[in-house]
Amino acid sequence: MSNLVSVLKNGSLSNTNSNANFPSMSNWLDDIFNRDLPSVFTSNFNTGISLPKVNIKETADTFMVEMAIPGFKKSDFHLELDNQVLSISTETKEENEHKEENYTRREFGYSSFKRTFNLPESVNDEKINANYKDGILSILLPKKEEAKQKPARSIKVS
């Protein structure tokens, strides 16, 4: 098969296949991987947490990062600051074993995530504070004094 690339009138590229009776390799792979799998294969597949959503709020004095991550302990979180990059991660492993007379059933679970944020130069990295309460991880990123927004003031004309 030969694939030709033609330029359309609007300047975009279009792939054309000289033998239209056969699907292209990418279409064939898409069909395989996008096909619905039987529930036997998907019932307990990838039950770990997905990447948590983040809310970021800026005030005159701080940035506030909030992540909804229920079901963890404070000790499960790892926060690191390296060269103005804040990394937030967690990793949990679970193993259950149930023994009966004729069989043993073992279940293993693993979930993890890692989010990274490039912090602006205006953040005072010496005073970053994190709190985990009611399933919400809150990280307070105070601004440096020179970066804080100053209130409006009147200037007297002389």
Confidence band (pLDDT; 50, 70, 90) for 112? confident
pLDDT, tens digit (0-9, with 9 covering 90-100), for 23-39: 555 555 555 555 554 44
| CATH number of the 54-147 domain | 2.60.40.790
Residues 105, 98 contacting (CB under 8 angstroms): yes
- pTM exceeding 0.75: no
- Residue 22 is predicted with a pLDDT of 53
Cα–Cα separations (whole angstroms), residue 36 to 29, 49, 73, 112 = 14, 22, 36, 26
Report how far residue 52's alpha carbon sits from residue 68's, in angstroms, rounded to the nearest whole number: 7
Hey, where are the domains in the chain?
A: 3-35, 54-147
Higher pLDDT pick, 139 / 39: 139
Q: Could you read off the pLDDT of 28-72 as tens digits, one per residue?
A: 555 555 555 444 444 444 445 568 889 999 988 999 999 998 888
Tokens for 45, please give them.
């597949």
